[in-house]
Amino acid sequence: MSSEDAGASSGPDDAPGTGANDEYHENAEQAVIAVDENDEEQGLVNRLDAHTGDGTRHRAFTSLLFDEEGRILLAQRSPKKRLWDTYWDGTVASHPVQGQTQVEATRQRLEEELGVTPDQYDDLRVTDRFEYKRYYMDEGVEHEVCAVLKATLLDTSLDPDPDEVGGLMWVPYERLYEHPRWYRQLRLCPWFEIAMRRDFE
């Protein structure tokens, strides 16, 4: 993990902002897993508390699905999201709950957000892990140890949940990295940009 990743400004899902008040209250009743720099558990922390002020380092994941031609499935975050609403992300990103592995959490979120079941993809695995910190304007912060998971989607049938996903797009992964100007109309989530950069370093 580079110091740039750990100290830069962040991440999948929360900060009190322009999103729906219902989601704000829902998040206030949830917890995330606080971790040290080695992703060792340090207990639970309220999800809102973890994403306000200076934040609390916690466990997260981003999962990237590819088709058999090497294109990545990008998902636009719903405008209802409280953090990075309408930004384009890797396929899914979230926080595991206590006792849940990153693979189990990814399987759950793929089905909940995109209607994708385990029989549709192959070789889901953790490929990387990094720490980063990002502020979302003046509304909140992410400080995460973020695992990266990848899989190949063999059956590309999708049934996205509009409360989670604003749009979907298949993009050639290497071209997205090598020619960012061609895609500058897409505002990319910072944790996805870090994961992609580390893939090609």
Domain coordinates in residue numbering, the chain: 3-200
pLDDT of residue 199: 96
- In DSSP notation, 161-196 reads -TTTEEEEEEEEHHHHHH-GGGGTTS-B-HHHHHHH
Query: Which residues are part of a known binding site?
Result: 51, 58, 95, 113, 142, 144
48 exposed, middle or buried (CB, 10 Å; 0-12, 13-18, 19+)?
A: buried
Query: Which residues are part of a known binding site for Mn(2+)?
Result: 51, 58, 95, 142, 144
User: pLDDT digit string (tens) for 116-167?
Assistant: 999 999 999 999 999 999 988 877 889 999 999 999 999 999 999 999 999 9
What is the third-level CATH fold of 3-200?
Nucleoside Triphosphate Pyrophosphohydrolase (3.90.79)
CA proximity to 66, closest of 181, 191, 176, 162: 176
* Tokens matching residue 84: 């990075």
pLDDT of residue 145: 96
pLDDT of residue 79: 87
**Total-model pTM:** 0.84
Specify whether 144 is catalytic.
Answer: yes
pLDDT of residue 25: 43
Q: Do 192 and 94 form a contact (C-beta atoms < 8 A)? A: no
- pLDDT category at 12 given cuts 50, 70, 90 is low
Q: Out of 144, 164, 178, 201, which one is annotated catalytic?
A: 144
- Please provide residue 200's backbone torsions phi and psi, each rounded to the nearest 5 degrees: -110, 5
